[in-house]
Amino acid sequence: MTAASVTLTEPRNDDTFADVWDEIVWRGLVHVSTDAAELKRLLAGEPITYYCGFDPTAPSLHLGNLVQLLLMRRLQLAGHRPLALVGGSTGLIGDPRPTSERTLNDRETVAEWVGYLQRQVSRFLSADGPNGVTLVNNLDWTAPLSAIDFLREIGKHFRVGTMLKKDAVAARLNSDAGISYTEFSYQILQGYDFLELHRQHGCVLQTGGSDQWGNLTSGTDLVHKAEGTSVHAIGTPLITNSDGTKFGKSEGNAIWLDAAMCSPYAMYQFWLNTDDADVIDRLKVFTFLSRAEIEEYAAKVEAEPFRREAQKRLALEVTGFVHGADAVQAAMDASAALFGGGDLHALDAPTLAAAIAELPHAEVTASTTVAQALVDTGLCSSLSEARRAIAQGGVAVNNEKVLTDDETLEGRALAGGAAVLRRGKKTLAGVRFPAA
């Protein structure tokens, strides 16, 4: 792997803003909140304790969770104390989806995923100093609680009429699937988390996605009823693309933060493909670039969109923040090498495999002709078309021009037993050879 030469922006808040509240509002991180004036006052004052919860419904967090982690990091950089909750109990239930009941995972799987998510969260929030992150698991306070105690001490504070009005519950009630009592009770469990964290740690703020607003306010209401204290919530916007499509999806697959589930190369390409209409908003939310730097990129998008400088910086910063400088450097090297700007032979096998996985690809043997490989990978629709493309000088294997249509793939394997075909300047495909 190439030694890291990229320079990533150090996580920091922009001191041109009066306070962190003004900055997170400018960055578009606040879609809905409790009393905005009081939140601004709290966040500009002495350190407070805040939390965000992550349910282990998968073995990795994804880009939607990254929004929360970045908001938590910004509040931490402003001196406030984060609690990162991974829901060992709420993960056994699952918050209501808009259309159907969740499939419940077994206890062993959920416990395993709790560990995965705790390790992921720890990468993004500092553990150092008086406001280092504290990891908490709601199973610690729900497991010892009997059903009778839960109903007497917590359930009595909730009104069914109010619970029915919550968006997630209302959507399910109006669907064919309906909603089980199990998922209906989720908002009580999440509300109880806020109460326990308020009692144990003095927590006064919860953050989460705006689609969780009903669950967030269940917590603020419960703390007020049980303790007579006002606490707060911030709901971040659900990020969508300018064309209305769901953000964070790539051909139907979530962009996970675990490199084994979504490679650094795939993540880098995801950000690199950001639409011009979305890229400045993405820089605001997902990077630590200053307001001045982002405004410079906005001018570049307006004046020279074809250079895609904003997309390149976005891909660099976010992939580097998630996977580190070495990984983003390898992704950049692979991206350049695929299009003739670097040496494909210098790429390591995992990086090359990740790059080829993002391309049309086919299994071949060493004796397969390049012309046949062009057809097998879909770069050409027929052998006659493939031969014409070779005769016109428009075909390369591993960035080396193919001169005759009878050439084979013999001796062309790169690291990990793969090769890269290119037709024209930008149309790529990959081939894989059988393992020896």
| One domain, residues 376 and 299 | no
Angle, vertex CA 249, rays to CA 281 and CA 350, nearest 5: 105
Instruction: Look at residue 3 in the predicted model and tell me its pLDDT.
Output: 44
- Domain boundary residue, one of 176, 202, 236: 236
Cα dihedral 412, 342, 8, 123, rounded to 10, equals 0
pLDDT at 152 over 80: yes
Rounded Cα gap, residues 431 and 335, in angstroms: 17
Residue with the two structure tokens 């990990």: 416
Mean pLDDT of 7-12: 96
pLDDT confidence bin for 67, thresholds 50/70/90: very high
| One domain, residues 231 and 245 | no
- Burial zone of 90 (CB within 10 Å; 0-12 exposed, 13-18 middle, 19+ buried): buried
Mean pLDDT of 423-434: 93
Amino acid (one-letter) located at 50? Y
pTM of the predicted model, to two decimals? 0.90
Strand partners, 362: 431
Q: Give me the percent of the chain exceeding a pLDDT of 70.
A: 98
222 lies in a domain? yes
- Under 8 Å between Cβ of 319 and 331: yes
| One domain, residues 197 and 51 | yes
| One domain, residues 162 and 256 | no
DSSP-based three-state secondary structure for 230: coil
| One domain, residues 231 and 311 | no
Angle between helices 291-303 and 276-286 (to 10 degrees): 170
64 lies in a domain? yes
Query: What's phi and psi for 232, nearest 5 deg?
Result: -130, 165
- Under 8 Å between Cβ of 217 and 233: yes
Q: What is the mean pLDDT of the chain?
A: 93
Kindly report, residue by residue over 366-411, the tens digit of the pLDDT.
999 999 999 999 999 999 999 999 999 999 999 999 999 999 999 9
Kindly report, residue by residue over 161-211, the tens digit of the pLDDT.
888 887 778 888 888 778 888 888 889 999 999 999 999 999 999 999 998
- Under 8 Å between Cβ of 138 and 144: no
Rounded Cα gap, residues 105 and 15, in angstroms: 45
Kindly report, residue by residue over 226-282, the tens digit of the pLDDT.
999 999 999 999 988 877 777 775 555 689 999 999 999 999 999 999 999 999 999
Number of domains in the chain: 3
Q: Could you tell me the two tokens for 255?
A: 């962009």
Kindly report, residue by residue over 299-314, the tens digit of the pLDDT.
999 999 999 999 999 9
Residue with the two structure tokens 């005759």: 404
Contacts of residue 42, Cβ cutoff 8 Å, sequence gap at least 6? 48, 204, 205, 232
Give the helix ranges, DSSP H, for 52-166. Answer: 63-77, 90-93, 107-124, 139-142, 147-153, 160-165
| One domain, residues 341 and 278 | yes
The enclosing domain of 397 has a CATH number of 3.10.290.10
5 lies in a domain? no
Look at residues 94, 89, 86, 84 and name the one whose alpha carbon lies nearest to residue 57.
Answer: 94
Instruction: Look at residue 104 in the predicted model and tell me its pLDDT.
Output: 84
296 lies in a domain? yes
- Domain boundary residue, one of 236, 267, 298: 236
DSSP-based three-state secondary structure for 201: helix
pLDDT confidence bin for 1, thresholds 50/70/90: very low
Instruction: Look at residue 344 in the predicted model and tell me its pLDDT.
Output: 93
Q: Could you tell me the two tokens for 10?
A: 């150090």
Q: Could you tell me the two tokens for 70?
A: 């970045």
Question: Which of 33-47, 157-171, 266-280, 414-428 bottoms out in mean pLDDT, i.e. has the lowest?
Answer: 157-171
14 lies in a domain? no
Rounded Cα gap, residues 364 and 59, in angstroms: 33
More confident residue, 26 or 239: 26
Instruction: Look at residue 18 in the predicted model and tell me its pLDDT.
Output: 97
Mean pLDDT of 75-99: 91
| One domain, residues 229 and 245 | no
Q: Could you tell me the two tokens for 306?
A: 């074809």
Q: Could you tell me the two tokens for 360?
A: 């049309």
- Domain boundary residue, one of 345, 375, 401: 345
3 lies in a domain? no
Instruction: Look at residue 249 in the predicted model and tell me its pLDDT.
Output: 58
| One domain, residues 230 and 245 | no
Angle, vertex CA 84, rays to CA 82 and CA 87, nearest 5: 155
| One domain, residues 300 and 417 | no
Boundaries of domain holding 281: 241-345
pLDDT at 2 over 60: no
DSSP-based three-state secondary structure for 335: helix
Rounded Cα gap, residues 295 and 274, in angstroms: 17
| One domain, residues 33 and 172 | yes
More confident residue, 265 or 340: 265
| One domain, residues 388 and 259 | no
Rounded Cα gap, residues 280 and 289, in angstroms: 11
| One domain, residues 199 and 69 | yes
The enclosing domain of 120 has a CATH number of 3.40.50.620
352 lies in a domain? no
113 lies in a domain? yes
Instruction: Look at residue 95 in the predicted model and tell me its pLDDT.
Output: 79
Instruction: Look at residue 252 in the predicted model and tell me its pLDDT.
Output: 57
The enclosing domain of 252 has a CATH number of 1.10.240.10
Residue 228, Ramachandran bin (φ over 0: left; ψ between -120 and 50: alpha; else beta): left
